[in-house]
Amino acid sequence: MSLKPRHFVLIAVIFALFAFNIYRHRHAAIPTEGSGRVVTTTHPAPVQTPVWTAFDQAAAKRDAPNDQFDPLMQAFQKQLDATHDTTTGDLNGCLTWLQFYRQGVNHPSRDTSWKDRSTRHLDGCSKYHLDTTN
């Protein structure tokens, strides 16, 4: 088999691509050089609205007896019903988890897995929303 001019052109193109990839690889910007992106592991401080203040107060007393907890839960529910601001986050989810947590506190079962899940969620909510009542 004899090589024709088009074979030489094809071989030259392959070598050129190989050389270009080596050059590009060696001169690529290394991600650790210079200043990188700022990555935060904490949430930005949210604006403390009345509804989040009511949540924080109810969450702070989530292990308290019903006579201490129920008025705070009712105040939170009233604030939740009165707010129409969509930027405050998922308040209904926090309300649901707080109710599940209270059911776990009052439940006679020894199975604590659902209470533990609620505790983790509510602790996260309280930290994210600057639980100022502790």
- Per residue in 53-69, pLDDT (tens digit) is 888 888 888 888 889 98
The whole domain housing 118 covers 50-128
- What DSSP string runs through 48-117? --HHHHHHHHHHHTTTS-HHHHHHHHHHHHHHHHH---GGG--HHHHHHHHHHHHHHHH---S--HHHHH
- pLDDT of 80: 83
Across 27-36, average pLDDT: 61
Do the domain assignments include residue 5?
no
pLDDT band at 89 (very low <50, low <70, confident <90, very high): low
Do the domain assignments include residue 76?
yes
Domain count, the chain: 1
Do the domain assignments include residue 116?
yes
Give the global pTM: 0.49
